[in-house]
Amino acid sequence: MATGASSAKTNSFFGRLAESITRFSGSTAAFIGSAGVVLLWAATGPLFKYSETWQLVINTGTTIVTFLMVFLIQRAQNKDSLVLHLKLNELIAATQGASNRMINAQDLSEEEIRVLHQFFCLLAEKAKQDTDLGQTHSVEEAEDNHEEKLAALRDGK
């Protein structure tokens, strides 16, 4: 796996450009520059008699910048989200007793996520009932309890 400076060499030109622009766009210099452009535009209003063309310049400029920034922000957010998932996956994989089925949970269907959410709600209920704050429960234990409840319901009917 590439790390550090070597990973920058393996990225595409667009990837490196997008990362540079993303880093710069969040900087103080970018904010001051943008504020300067807006102030310059506002100051030229009387010179252009606040014409429609004068207004169109700022509207067009801000629309184009906003349009492009949406994609850069989404790209950065996607990368950050993936990295966060990888770090969580590493913690799950390294933690004894953690359910490995949670690795790559972001790839589950909405129905699978809903079912897991129900299991974690069961775990939360079990935790509320415990007097020992250090007691832990697993998804598998919640599943077993759920199966026992279903069996009891079937036997009761």
Does the global pTM surpass 0.75?
Answer: no
> Residue 35 belongs to what H/E stretch?
helix 28-43
Check whether residue 83 and residue 112 sit in a common domain.
no
Domain tally for the chain? 2
Check whether residue 24 and residue 86 sit in a common domain.
yes
For residue 147, give both structure tokens.
Answer: 């199966």
Residues 54 and 45: beta-carbon distance below 8 Å: yes
- State the chain's mean pLDDT as an integer: 85
Asked whether residue 146 carries a pLDDT value surpassing 80, the answer given is no
Asked whether residue 6 carries a pLDDT value surpassing 70, the answer given is no
Percent of the chain residues past pLDDT 70, beyond the cut:
83
Asked whether residue 7 carries a pLDDT value surpassing 60, the answer given is no
Q: What is the DSSP string of 53-102?
A: HHHHHHHHHHHHHHHHHHHHHHHHHHHHHHHHHHHHHHHHHHSTTS-GGG
Check whether residue 82 and residue 28 sit in a common domain.
yes
Q: For residue 1, name the pLDDT band (cuts at 50, 70, 90).
A: very low
Closest CA to 118 of 88, 102, 139: 139
Q: Which of left, alpha, beta for 15 (phi over 0: left; psi -120 to 50: alpha)?
A: alpha
Check whether residue 71 and residue 26 sit in a common domain.
yes
- Structural domain boundaries enclosing 112: 108-156
Check whether residue 90 and residue 26 sit in a common domain.
yes
What whole-number distance in Å separates Cα of residue 137 and Cα of residue 147? 16
pLDDT digits (tens, 9 = 90+) for 25-80: 999 999 999 999 999 999 999 999 999 999 999 999 999 999 999 999 999 999 99
The phi and psi torsions of 46 (rounded to 5 degrees) equal -65, -35
3 located within any domain:
no
Q: What is the CA radius of gyration of the chain?
A: 27
Boundary-marking domain end, from 94, 122, 145 = 94
Q: Which of left, alpha, beta for 107 (phi over 0: left; psi -120 to 50: alpha)?
A: alpha
